[in-house]
């Protein structure tokens, strides 16, 4: 049926498109899997769960990353493992869902305070940046890596892009020039890598750690993970800079003329508002890190802080920001933070992943047993390091085309049952989880791999062909470094 608008143009609702047809087929699979003929010896329940998993991944990849998450939670309600109460408790009521929600609100307020731009300008105005164009680029690329260690990669990228654009304008570059493309690629790459440094405000990293905690009933602490992540990120930073220097080989002659002193003069004075917001955020971070740092000396205090759980510190921070007023205005506009600071799509994906993973690994589904029997003969001869390297390389291939949440969910669900069964002797499950979580942060070679990559291409300062060529190289190098540097560190700590 069609309607006619006031301008005389016909309007209508079209249901016939390739995407809609695919969505209908996958929805039928999601709700009709248990009635399919048994495959691989799976029971009706196993086929039902497998159908929900395959359909959810397919919808995430090719249709949308929002509503399919909600629909998969609904579909799981009809499995023997859940009713409406348990499925909601395990998804929207899971601790990780609250963590992503409240930490995102807290990070949004910090991003609005002006503190992040102050950090950016501080880095690129160091005296060393005037000595050599490569030192200038190195300091500039450190900005998203440092900011992204405690903020979302999108925020880390968006803070630096206006600075980069002002430099391009000052030096007479236009969109399509090679050096600006390399700089934007660097900002994008290190914004992505920053997510693997710490679990702070990073839903992707926390997703991997939470899957491990659910399956093994043991948490991976913020401190050991951060040591693993920071050291690995430093190695990735160094090797990536060498790739830019000796593979990309840009002409940096114009960068010697860049003037950054004016940026310092344009910064406003540090306000009381900014100081308090930074102090509150720092207090939350201290509560996250304190148990791992003080446990040997103050075990009772560490235990008390640990008992608060991960979501409570940002919840307390939000309350403080909402209550404290400066110049008659609260430090946080609650409605604005909920509307513009919360990545609702990511929250629904994380919620869905928690119950989907629980159904997949339920022994009654039989899927983990099937995977172990099928893959163990192929992988049993590998050493732990070779196995981890293979996992990371496959993960990187998947992540080039799929989002980080999809990649982590898929790889963890396939690999961890094999490790837990003991089919691959000597593999540290916690260390491998850290690697999978970190690997889900490095994909940025195509716009579908991460929202930050889509934004970078949308600026038109970075073209997709260059992003695919050099971004893929950086992703695979990062995967090898996570395997060869990160895994041994994580295994020694966990």
Q: What is the pLDDT of residue 1?
A: 43
- Angstrom distance (rounded) from CA 257 to CA 166: 13
CA pseudo-torsion sign 299, 302, 306, 310: negative
Would you say residue 143 lies in a domain? yes
Span 39-60, mean pLDDT?
87
- Angstrom distance (rounded) from CA 205 to CA 342: 17
pLDDT digits over 201-221, tens only?
787 888 889 889 888 888 898
Q: What is the pLDDT of residue 6?
A: 45
- Residue 463 · residue 470 · CB < 8 Å: no
Would you say residue 461 lies in a domain? no
Give the range of the structural domain holding residue 216, as residue numbers without chain letter: 97-341
Q: How many domains does the chain have?
A: 1
Asked if the model's pLDDT at residue 382 lies above 80, the reply is: yes
Q: What is the pLDDT of residue 285?
A: 87
- Residue 183 · residue 164 · CB < 8 Å: yes
Would you say residue 245 lies in a domain? yes
Would you say residue 213 lies in a domain? yes
Asked if the model's pLDDT at residue 238 lies above 90, the reply is: yes
Span 230-246, mean pLDDT?
95
Would you say residue 474 lies in a domain? no
Would you say residue 160 lies in a domain? yes
User: How many Cα atoms sit within 13 Å of 272 on the Cβ side?
Assistant: 7
Would you say residue 22 lies in a domain? no
Q: What is the pLDDT of residue 12?
A: 55
Highest mean pLDDT among 110-114, 138-142, 345-349: 138-142
pLDDT digits over 307-357, tens only?
888 889 999 999 999 999 998 999 999 999 999 888 888 788 888 888 887
- Residue 390 · residue 383 · CB < 8 Å: no
Closest CA to 81 of 359, 352, 354: 359
Q: What is the pLDDT of residue 76?
A: 94
Share of the chain above pLDDT 70, in %: 97
Span 410-427, mean pLDDT?
83
Q: What is the pLDDT of residue 307?
A: 85
- The β-bridge relationship of strands 329-330 and 325-326 is antiparallel
Would you say residue 164 lies in a domain? yes
A 10 A CB-CB count for 5 gives 8
Average pLDDT, the chain: 86
Judged by DSSP in three states, 494 sits in coil
């Amino acid at each position: 049926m069609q309607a006619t608008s006031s301008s005389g143009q016909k309007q209508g609702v079209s249901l016939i498109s390739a995407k809609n047809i695919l969505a209908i087929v996958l929805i039928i699979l999601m709700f009709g899997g248990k009635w399919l003929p048994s495959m691989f010896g799976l029971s009706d329940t196993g086929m039902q769960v497998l159908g929900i998993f395959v359909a959810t991944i397919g919808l995430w990849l090719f249709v949308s990353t929002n509503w399919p998450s909600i629909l998969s939670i609904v579909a799981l309600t009809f499995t023997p493992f859940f009713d409406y109460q348990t499925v909601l408790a395990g998804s929207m009521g899971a601790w990780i869902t609250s963590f992503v929600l409240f930490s995102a609100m807290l990070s949004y307020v910090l991003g609005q305070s002006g503190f992040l731009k102050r950090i950016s300008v501080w880095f690129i105005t160091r005296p060393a940046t005037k000595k050599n164009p490569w030192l200038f680029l190195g300091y500039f690329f450190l900005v998203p890596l440092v900011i992204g260690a405690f903020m979302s990669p999108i925020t880390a990228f968006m803070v630096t892009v206006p600075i980069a654009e002002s430099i391009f304008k000052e030096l007479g570059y236009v969109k399509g020039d090679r050096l600006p493309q390399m700089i934007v690629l660097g900002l994008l790459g290190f914004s992505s890598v920053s997510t693997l440094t710490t679990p702070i405000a990073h839903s992707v990293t926390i997703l991997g750690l939470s899957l491990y905690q659910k399956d093994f009933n043991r948490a991976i602490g913020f401190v050991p993970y951060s040591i693993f992540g920071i050291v690995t990120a430093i190695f990735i930073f160094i090797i990536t800079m060498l790739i830019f220097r000796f593979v990309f080989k840009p002409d940096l002659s114009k960068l010697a003329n860049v003037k950054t002193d004016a940026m310092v003069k344009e910064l406003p004075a540090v306000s009381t508002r900014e100081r308090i917001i930074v102090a509150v955020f720092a207090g939350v971070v201290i509560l996250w890190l304190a148990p791992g740092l003080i446990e040997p000396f103050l075990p009772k205090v560490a235990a008390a802080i640990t008992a608060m759980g991960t979501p409570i510190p940002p919840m307390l921070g939000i309350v403080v920001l909402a209550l404290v007023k400066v110049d008659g205005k609260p430090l946080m506009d609650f409605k604005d933070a909920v509307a513009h600071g919360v990545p609702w799509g990511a929250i629904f994906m994380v919620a869905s992943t928690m119950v989907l993973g629980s159904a997949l690994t339920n022994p009654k589904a039989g899927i983990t047993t099937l995977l172990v029997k099928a893959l163990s003969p192929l992988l049993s001869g590998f050493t732990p390091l070779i196995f981890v390297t293979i996992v990371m390389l496959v993960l990187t291939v998947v992540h080039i085309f799929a989002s980080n949440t999809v990649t982590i969910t898929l790889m963890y669900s396939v690999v961890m049952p094999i490790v837990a069964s003991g089919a691959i002797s000597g593999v540290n499950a916690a260390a491998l989880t850290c690697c999978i979580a970190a690997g889900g942060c490095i994909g940025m070679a195509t716009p579908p791999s991460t929202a930050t990559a889509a934004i970078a291409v949308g600026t038109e300062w970075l073209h997709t062909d260059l992003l695919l060529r050099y971004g893929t190289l950086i992703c695979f190098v990062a995967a090898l470094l996570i395997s060869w540097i990160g895994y041994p560190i994580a295994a020694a700590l966990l």
